[in-house]
Structure 1
Amino acid sequence: MTQRLSILIIGLIMNIGAFAQSSLPLYKNPLLSVDERVKDLLSRMTLEEKVGQLLSPLGWEMYEIKDDEVYPSEKFKKLIKEKNAGMLWATYRADPWTRKTLENGLRPELAAKAGNALQKYAIENTRLGIPVFLAEEAPHGHMAIGTTVFPTGIGMSATWSPTLIEEVGKAIAKEIRSQGAHISYGPVLDLSRDPRWSRVEETFGEDPVLSGRLGAAMVTGLGSGDLSREHATIATLKHFLAYAVPEGGQNGNYASVGARDLHENFLPPFREAIEAGALSVMTSYNSIDGIPCTANHYLLTQLLRNEWKFRGFVVSDLYSIEGIHESHFVASTMEEAAVQALSAGVDIDLGGDAFMNLLQAVRSGKQDETQINAAVDRILRMKFEMGLFEHPYVNPKTTTKMVRNKEHVKLARKVAQSSVVLLENKNSILPLSKKIKRVAVVGPNADNRYNMLGDYTAPQEDKDIRTVLDGVISKLSPSRVEYVRGCAIRDTTVNEIAEAVEAAHRSEVIIAVVGGSSARDFKTSYQETGAAIADEKSISDMECGEGFDRATLTLLGKQQDLLNALKTTGKPLIVVYIEGRPLDKVWASECADALLTASYPGQAGGDAIADVLFGDYNPAGRLPVSVPRSVGQIPVYYNKKAPRNHDYVEMAASPLYGFGYGLSYTTFEYSDLQITQKSPCHFEVSFKVKNTGDYDGEEVAQLYLKDEYASVVQPLKQLKHFERFFLRKGEEKEILFTLTEKDLSIIDRSMKRVVETGDFRIMIGASSDDIRLTTHISVKSVSGSKNLR
């Protein structure tokens, strides 16, 4: 072939390719910019097609399994035909509420096939062929069958390790995307100041700095900053805003929070996560100052979009648009509720049909179509950026290699180990010797697989979940371990206390595993929102999880009776709390020889706890939330504003265990605090930490700050920096923290973020109430302010 002929053929091929591209609608041309494609597609859409993109119906009814294949259900076909839905929520979800089980639900390969089938039908059976988004719950792992279950949010935050949490985010993203889904619901950035509230377990605790750092790390791992990345997901931050501080601890109740408190504490974690790349925010069920958060224009538009320049989309919490009309009673019709939500800044209607009312609202002149266009623009933009128009499908054959693989299971154990908090270790009873002849393992959480996992967890194969009993047996042998349940979490008809006492008498040491449960079952009734209903007709062991708010924090059922009886044996008593909220530990703090807590530590939690008990892992978890002495103290969070609390008649005002607290099998010495001022508002804080004990171990150094005199009342101390690090026994390390304008700033009387001149107290320590080093710095000049409003 001559060179000239080769050139002619290549030119012909290029011309054919160019012609093919030019014959495509502009939005289908991958060579064009996202802006051009969005603009073209939006111009072609009818009002009905636009509103369809704003809907996210329940997904688990949209498929049918036949043999080893998955097909779109008739309900899905009807949904596409009649409503043009552009998104589904919880398609792969399995739990008692959805009635999807190990038998009839989607295992990973089938999940990938389901996603492909739904995607194919939507693309091929709609006029414009727009792919659908699949959004999935993923607060501590993808809530689907066969996926990796990590510790719940409050457990992950006990690690105080952004590095670990970023790794968790990467694992979750890989599992979600490999199954064909795109949006991950989580992290939960609500600040928990009331342990009575049912969803403390989902959060990162009570502090804005810790929550913000960990939230940003999770978002980074989930890959939201670059949607073109192979396994990037759209992280959805929950719940906007002040959802975790409802009156009376009642889920969804009014939140009594001032504007300054919002800006100082509740908003910063969300902003940090958004700056890390989060592209979706979910509204909350509550109202603030009389305005439902799903209809709050200031929060969703003025602040989020105009001031923070958030470019992602806002999704309502499940049926919360209906709640504007049916729960908050600030809209007399569903149409008015839909208009309020869209006008406030909500882009997507999760679960319901409220936004279908926008069709009539536009036609009657009550709603401007330009607001609908803006919402659709944001959604389409994410679909183009993720490459769904060119690559809408996944390979089911590779899915099983991605989901719950060995690396993810290993990571789950590492995170669980890092999350265990040692609260008491009298006479250094721990770690236990593996030469011990006999151990009694008792308690309702000693061998309950689902009570290791927390809420928002799918059904599990027994072989995949490790309980404390499993972990202890792995360290010893079945012949040296005697197990008796003793009692249930709530059900008082279960009474094996006498048998537990007998087992204790035959043993050298007792490991009693008590606490709570967020394990859903088929006996429990559920609201339309998926929240469980706590009533006498649905007596399960659940005492935590969405909808299970508490009036007390004491152990339920006969658990305290069990502990009392075990104490009378005189045998060493190690108490382990597995819980979703900080339960009452006053008795255990006084009577147990050792006390540990693990906040639903996930599928590898039992092995992780045993690792700690027998010294294969030196505990370094730290409390992300204060443990009260009594519900009468609530709220009892550490960074309250001045003045300092005075004691009650009956008890101290301080918490039983403070924020940041946690013991180790070794000891650490802090020394040599040095301050170097680099500029008026830039200080380097250095100090040394030495492992002075007999074990290698990790420490979590914490820097707290107090503005001594400010124009508005300030916290008595506020965490600003922290670092978790490993030291071999005898090893010393220098730690360096940098204080900047951000750390020194406050919200002044004009609601501006400013740095004021004056003195600041620097406190370095092992927890909020264990300060080892203290000094002062002075700010003598400032460089300006930022108006938050």
Structure 2
Amino acid sequence: MISITKSILLVSLFAYTTTAILNDQHAYGTLNYEDYDRPGPIDQDILDMIQQMSIPEKIGQMTQINQDLVLGTDGKLNRTAVENYAQNYYVGSYLNQLASDGDNYDSKDYAKIIEEIQEITLGVNSTFKIPIIYGLDHIHGAHYVANKPLLATIFPHGINIAASFNPELAYESASITARDTRAAGVQWTFAPVLDIPVSKQWPRVYENFGEDPHLSSILGAASIRGYQGKYKSDRTKVAACMKHFIAYGAPWSGQDRDSTVVSDRTIQDYFVPGFQAAIDAGVATAMESYIDINGEPVVASNKYLQKLLRDKMGFEGMLVTDWQEIENLHIKHRVAATHKEAVRMAISDTSIDMSMVPQDVIFFDSMMELVKEGRVSIDRIDASVARLLQLKKDVGLLETDGWKGNKELQAMVGNENDIKVSLDAARESLTLLKNHENVLPLNPEIIKRVLVVGPTANNLAHLSGGWTIDWQGPTQDHWHGKIDDGQFYEKGIHIVKGMQSSAPEGVHVEYMTGFDIDGLDENMAQVIEAAKDFDALVVCVGEHVYSELPGNIHDIKLPQGQIDHVAQLANKTEIPLITVLLEGRPRVLETIHDNSDAILLAYLPGPWGGQAIAEVLFGQTNPSGKLPYTYPKYAGDVNLNYWRPVSDVWDPLYEFGHGLSYSTFDYGNITLAGKNNLQQETLPSLSAGSDQTEISVQITNNSPFDGKETVLMFVHQPFRVITPPAKLLKAFKKVFIPAGQTETVRFTLNAELFQYTGIDDTLTIDDGPIKIMIGDQEFDFNVTK
């Protein structure tokens, strides 16, 4: 198992955000940034290569095409096609899952096919024999590397890692993903996903680390360290890719790829921090986003892709477009009258290095014409090719046989230690939203027979969601919700199986469907009749399996049929009803909330999540997850975030950071450098610059259960020039506290925690009173510029 004893070094305040990431803001120690590689100046040998390459060879390096242009539906490589793209277009990159007719390839198959592409590419006449770089969307494990017997370990999605508030899990899952990806002959993953999902209707909520910029920053940096490490010499590592730059998670309509309408101040204070942390952590590549911002397509934006990303934020790595985005300037965004003009806008006006074309060679042809016409300069092309070739050198592709798969790594795919990491991540992410009269954990002295009901209880697909084995997840027919668990090759445990295997002695668990994922009745009359012989109901509800555009919805309520059937079960039975939610985004529950004695939010915990859920229900695992987003009460509140302006209407179902435990944690004795706030005669002051102090709080576990508690430190300035947010997370630590014991948690404070983008779009700190909030404790200060 790839593991760490220490987690990430949290960087100092970066120049274009209000999020302070300080050295001691979590409980997992530090690792020095110098232990990790990062992109930087271009090596001289790369510059020398560029001077000798022809223009078509350079443009070819900037071209990325999809695997289906060279891979037949029978799964066989079309060698003639590969040779054509290499000989005539010098294609520098391929992407996407290698699959045919629903059959998937393991790491050995991947390596074999990619090596064949490499051999053909290297065999054509060119100035230099430059291998292609292959990219995959491995966002929660090497989930495209799938086949019996070497199914790569699939992890919980990003939203689960966020709910765990555990950077070590982000690091370890990314490290394993990197190793399994590299085993397949792939050197590049399009991860982590660092959008801030403002819209809860957006179908990509689950890929991200939640709505808070500080949390996303910490977990994003930890993931990048896991993926990359010393990627310039360590051949178990891959290049990471921060995406999608920028403001992708706030579509005004809630629909994927629709326009974003957002202020520059919001971009700077809430969307930039996670990407800045990624850059500071050394991320090797970046991907721009599908959207336009206030009508300006990001893919053609000098403002965002040059001035912000490169000049202000200091990104020196390679920048790739998202799928077909340059062509979208013509066919979707409608700002370019021709495809050639779209290419000119994207290349001349921005710092894009590679076009994910991906279904043809129109980018190459347009670029050749633009160079001949003098509308794109050779110097501009050379700048991109330098970054591309440096990336290939850094990941080892220019070394002898550096493009081949590694048999030793292939032998490690899917090992038991990796599965344990996935299971631990699921355990720590599960979030107990409601527990009326402590109905959970189920008491085996009282609860002898448990009936499990619902469409998400007996399959692995609903545990894992989209981007799992296939783009749209493991479904035979996405639109009708037919699940294909066979693609997991029994590598996982669904909820029913987990409960049956984890049930205490003398406890019997049975399953009946009841209703389907659309809420349509299947056998509810029989379920209600059978429930008379049981002591508790566990009802598992949730969403279809989806990813990106196919996941668009117009109403964030759960299907009405699901809501009605839970009501029917509650009204026609007299036994405890526990609802388990499997969903990629928070779906409005309506009466499910009141009709449930307990609610466990599992998000998308991966194929081993059924075991984790069972352990929580039976009390073998104490839940410790916290909400990484605001859970809305009403369908209209799709853009409700906890960092809203303090003047906004606020009526969520549950706030960011909510999450119950079987333990009782009491907060007390909050002190500043040994002084108790309640005994202060004058408020202490923090001044901008080097002035900093330490605040501590004691947390006592007043219960018979050992437990983990995530300690959240929020800050608030009651009055300032720009309407302040109600509060902002600036630090967190997850600590294990044995029953009856007390732990002291310490955080470092400075005035920069209250920095924000002011009226003139520059960073500012307003003088005045401030509050530090930890649990139910508060500490008052004054802050000065």
Give the TM-score category using the shorter length.
Answer: 0.7 to 0.9
Q: CA deviation at 1:63?
A: 4.7
C-alpha distance in structure 2 between counterparts of 1:389 and 1:671, whole Å: 58
1:469 aligns to what SS in structure 2? Answer: helix
Q: 1:614 to 1:566 in 2, by over 3 A?
A: same
2:253 aligns to what SS in structure 1? Answer: helix
Residue deviations 1:556-597, cap 9 Å, x none?
263223212211211111110000110112323212111111
C-alpha distance in structure 1 between counterparts of 2:633 and 2:519, whole Å: 25
Q: 1:641 is matched by which residue type in structure 2?
A: P
C-alpha distance in structure 1 between counterparts of 2:530 and 2:69, whole Å: 48
Q: CA deviation at 1:329?
A: 0.7
C-alpha distance in structure 2 between counterparts of 1:56 and 1:276, whole Å: 26
Q: 1:545 to 1:430 in 2, by over 3 A?
A: farther
TM-score (norm 2): 0.86
* Aligned partners of 1:224 and 1:235 also within 8 Å: no
Q: 2:363 is matched by which residue type in structure 1?
A: F
Give yes or no for the alignment of 1:38 onto 2:37: no
Give yes or no for the alignment of 1:564 onto 2:567: yes
How does 1:181-260 map onto structure 2 within 5 Å?
Answer: 181-223=186-228, 226-260=231-265
C-alpha distance in structure 1 between counterparts of 2:405 and 2:142, whole Å: 18
Task: Tell me the residue number matched to 1:534.
Answer: none
Give yes or no for the alignment of 1:101 onto 2:106: no
How does 1:361-760 map onto structure 2 within 5 Å?
Answer: 361-390=370-399, 391-395=401-405, 397-434=407-444, 436-458=447-469, 459=474, 460-476=487-503, 480-490=508-518, 492=520, 495-519=522-546, 545-556=548-559, 558-567=561-570, 568-645=572-649, 653-676=650-673, 680=687, 681-760=691-770
- The farther-off stretch of 626-635 and 174-183 is 626-635
* Aligned partners of 2:330 and 2:342 also within 8 Å: yes
Cα RMSD of the aligned pairs, angstroms, is 2.1
* Aligned partners of 1:64 and 1:73 also within 8 Å: no
Task: Tell me the residue number matched to 2:5.
Answer: none
Q: 1:478 to 1:148 in 2, by over 3 A?
A: farther
| Structure 2: 5+ residue stretches without partners | 1-40, 475-486, 674-683
Q: 2:554 is matched by which residue type in structure 1?
A: A
Q: 1:546 to 1:215 in 2, by over 3 A?
A: farther
Q: CA deviation at 1:247?
A: 1.6
Residue deviations 1:699-734, cap 9 Å, x none?
111111112332322212111111111110011111
C-alpha distance in structure 2 between counterparts of 1:66 and 1:709, whole Å: 65
Give yes or no for the alignment of 1:76 onto 2:82: yes
C-alpha distance in structure 2 between counterparts of 1:365 and 1:206, whole Å: 45
* Aligned partners of 2:622 and 2:661 also within 8 Å: yes
Give yes or no for the alignment of 1:131 onto 2:131: yes
1:616 aligns to what SS in structure 2? Answer: coil
Residue deviations 1:410-465, cap 9 Å, x none?
10000001110001111111111346432111100001221111111105324112
- The farther-off stretch of 217-226 and 443-452 is 217-226
2:233 aligns to what SS in structure 1? Answer: coil
Q: 1:637 is matched by which residue type in structure 2?
A: N
* Aligned partners of 1:678 and 1:684 also within 8 Å: no
Q: 2:275 is matched by which residue type in structure 1?
A: F
Task: Tell me the residue number matched to 1:8.
Answer: none
C-alpha distance in structure 2 between counterparts of 1:488 and 1:779, whole Å: 56
- The farther-off stretch of 684-693 and 747-756 is 747-756
Task: Tell me the residue number matched to 1:116.
Answer: 115
Q: CA deviation at 1:553?
A: 2.0
Q: 1:405 is matched by which residue type in structure 2?
A: N
- The farther-off stretch of 75-84 and 308-317 is 75-84
C-alpha distance in structure 1 between counterparts of 2:518 and 2:410, whole Å: 38
TM-score (norm 1): 0.86
C-alpha distance in structure 2 between counterparts of 1:669 and 1:361, whole Å: 67
* Aligned partners of 2:563 and 2:592 also within 8 Å: no
Q: 1:289 is matched by which residue type in structure 2?
A: N
C-alpha distance in structure 1 between counterparts of 2:342 and 2:83, whole Å: 28
- The farther-off stretch of 551-560 and 698-707 is 551-560
Q: CA deviation at 1:601?
A: 0.6
C-alpha distance in structure 1 between counterparts of 2:507 and 2:626, whole Å: 34
Residue deviations 1:5-27, cap 9 Å, x none?
xxxxxxxxxxxxxxxxxxxxxxx
Q: Of the candidates 156, 167, 183, which is equivalent to residue 172 of structure 2?
A: 167
* Aligned partners of 2:441 and 2:617 also within 8 Å: yes
Q: CA deviation at 1:502?
A: 2.6
Give yes or no for the alignment of 1:56 onto 2:55: no
Task: Tell me the residue number matched to 1:16.
Answer: none
Residue deviations 1:514-544, cap 9 Å, x none?
011225xxxxxxxxxxxxxxxxxxxxxxxx6
* Aligned partners of 1:238 and 1:284 also within 8 Å: yes
C-alpha distance in structure 2 between counterparts of 1:750 and 1:364, whole Å: 41
* Aligned partners of 2:235 and 2:396 also within 8 Å: no
Q: 1:235 to 1:678 in 2, by over 3 A?
A: farther
Task: Tell me the residue number matched to 1:86.
Answer: 92
C-alpha distance in structure 1 between counterparts of 2:299 and 2:402, whole Å: 31
* Aligned partners of 1:184 and 1:235 also within 8 Å: yes
Task: Tell me the residue number matched to 1:300.
Answer: 305
- The farther-off stretch of 662-671 and 190-199 is 190-199
* Aligned partners of 2:279 and 2:314 also within 8 Å: no
Q: 1:657 is matched by which residue type in structure 2?
A: Y
Q: CA deviation at 1:693?
A: 1.3
Residue deviations 1:81-110, cap 9 Å, x none?
221111111144x4xxxx5523xx311211
Runs of 4+ in 1 over 6 A off after TM superposition: 64-67
Q: 1:351 to 1:149 in 2, by over 3 A?
A: farther
C-alpha distance in structure 1 between counterparts of 2:488 and 2:102, whole Å: 11
C-alpha distance in structure 1 between counterparts of 2:560 and 2:326, whole Å: 38
* Aligned partners of 1:488 and 1:557 also within 8 Å: no
Q: 2:393 is matched by which residue type in structure 1?
A: F
2:43 aligns to what SS in structure 1? Answer: helix
| Structure 1: 5+ residue stretches without partners | 1-32, 520-543, 646-652, 766-771, 783-789
C-alpha distance in structure 2 between counterparts of 1:610 and 1:684, whole Å: 40
Q: Which has the higher contact order (CA 8 A, sep 6+)?
A: 2
Q: CA deviation at 1:348?
A: 0.9
- The farther-off stretch of 495-504 and 439-448 is 495-504
Residue deviations 1:164-222, cap 9 Å, x none?
11111111111111211111111111111211111111111111111111111111111
Q: 1:479 to 1:668 in 2, by over 3 A?
A: closer
2:307 aligns to what SS in structure 1? Answer: helix
C-alpha distance in structure 1 between counterparts of 2:626 and 2:230, whole Å: 29
Q: 2:598 is matched by which residue type in structure 1?
A: A
C-alpha distance in structure 2 between counterparts of 1:220 and 1:160, whole Å: 17
C-alpha distance in structure 2 between counterparts of 1:491 and 1:577, whole Å: 14
C-alpha distance in structure 1 between counterparts of 2:193 and 2:718, whole Å: 32
- The farther-off stretch of 392-401 and 202-211 is 392-401
